[in-house]
Amino acid sequence: MLSLEAANELIWKKFRELPLEHVEVDVWEAVDRIMAEDVLSPGNVPEFSRSMCDGYAVLADNTQTAGNETPVLLSFLGEVPPGEKANMEVKEGQCAYVSTGSMIPAGADAVIMVEQTKIQENNSVLLFKPVIAGERIILQGDDLKTGQVIIKQGEKLNPRHVAALVAAGIYRVKVFARPRFAIISTGDELVDIGQEPAVGQIRDSNSYALQAFITRAGGEVVRRVLVKDDGELYRKELENAVKCADMVLISGGCSVGIRDFTAQAINSLPGEGVFIQGVSIRPGRPLIVGECMGKPVFGLPGHPIAPVILFKIVVEKLWHRLTACEETDMITAVVDFDMRPSLFTHLLVQLEKREGFIRAKTAAPENPAQTGAISQAHGYIWIKDLEKGLSQGQIADVYVF
């Protein structure tokens, strides 16, 4: 079997030229979307130097001897209202009143808070504290400079980016179109939502779990079907899925039993067919990857945890590489258990903060067929070293869901 790294490299080699569509959307609708290009500030933000408080715009050098017992007296020029151009120049021995956000008039290089001043009847102002050049002023271009990158291609647009984009006058951005997925669940034992399982049947939870993770990753499910163990029906549904989606996920039917039709169905359609069958990881060992009509098709084992893990470490990884997205939700935690796995293992863990540290404990110690473990897990640890495994007290990377 291939290692996970080798499998991902082979998948990348096969699909690195997969065409991606771009769409233009409003910035407030682009949150969690992956940027299709760098976005540069078209101008300085702010476009003019402005005051950070209500007070007086002054020349800092004029205030250096100011104190409670030795106030400095400056001539009052007038007021610069917020939202208006400063049509005055502050010279030696002068000051101008500014509000928070007001333009700093020419000549001034600092602002003293109004609480540290006292206006006099003779059109002058007393200053009781010194200020330094630049104090309480946001200078032109302090936030963003012309040509500065606000967000890079491949980054996910975060709510923190929105204010900067709008401040720079950017209201629409180009993002990658949401990848379209089709999901096929297979098995005579499966029933869909709305149906009551008979004895020997179970609800199809895998396809809905996959749909939730697809949505979280920024994709959309355009087709979801439940197929019985019928080879011809299976092939027809796979052909329909490939025609309407960018990627196809098949849950179940990946082993070598008499009712496992995944590889056979993939190989029956135009394209290269299956090029990966089995990866040395746990859970997810029976993974199948193929190419049908230019589209990637992923056959995922039916055990409840395996499809979720494989989606994160194989399918989503391909999408991120295609879009040059490097964002990974990962934290470090102290391991609260010992484990020596028999295969490269992706282990579900729960996280809790205790004694000042984030600690990880197992959510599904051995059995990968536990749907409850997924709901209890906060993420997973990739145990790469088979000999060392994981030891209590060790620091490990946790990939957070």
Tens digit of each residue's pLDDT (9 = 90 or more) over 222-249: 999 988 877 788 889 999 999 999 999 9
All structural domains of the chain: 4-21+178-322 (3.40.980.10), 22-45+142-176 (3.90.105.10), 50-138 (2.170.190.11), 330-400 (2.40.340.10)
372 pLDDT more than 90: no
Asked if 368 and 282 touch (Cβ cutoff 8 Å), the reply is yes
Residue 375 DSSP one-character state: H
- Helices then strands (H, E): number in the chain? 8, 26
For 221, the token pair is 């499910």
Among 251-265, 297-311, 327-341, 377-391, the range scoring the smallest mean pLDDT is 251-265
The amino acid present at 302, given as its one-letter code, is: G
Looking at the chain, the whole-number percentage of residues with pLDDT higher than 90 is 71
258 pLDDT more than 50: no
Cβ of 212: how many Cβ atoms within 10 Å? 12
Q: What is the pLDDT, as a whole number, of residue 358?
A: 95
Residue located via tokens 């589209």: 295
Higher pLDDT, 146 or 207: 146
Q: How many residues does this entry show for the chain?
A: 401
Alpha helices in 145-187 (DSSP H): 159-167
Residue 136, phi-psi category: left (phi > 0), alpha (psi -120 to 50), beta (remainder) = left
Tens digit of each residue's pLDDT (9 = 90 or more) over 189-228: 787 877 888 888 778 888 889 999 999 899 999 999 988 8
Alpha carbon distance 304, 206 (integer Å): 6
What CA–CA distances, in Å, run from 387 to 238, 342, 345, 362?
A: 41, 9, 12, 19
Model pTM score: 0.82
Average pLDDT, stretch 92-118? Answer: 97
For residue 127, give the nearest of 113, 142, 112, 117 by alpha carbon.
117
253 pLDDT more than 50: yes
Q: Does the N-terminal peptide bond of residue 46 adopt cis geometry, omega within 30 degrees of 0?
A: yes
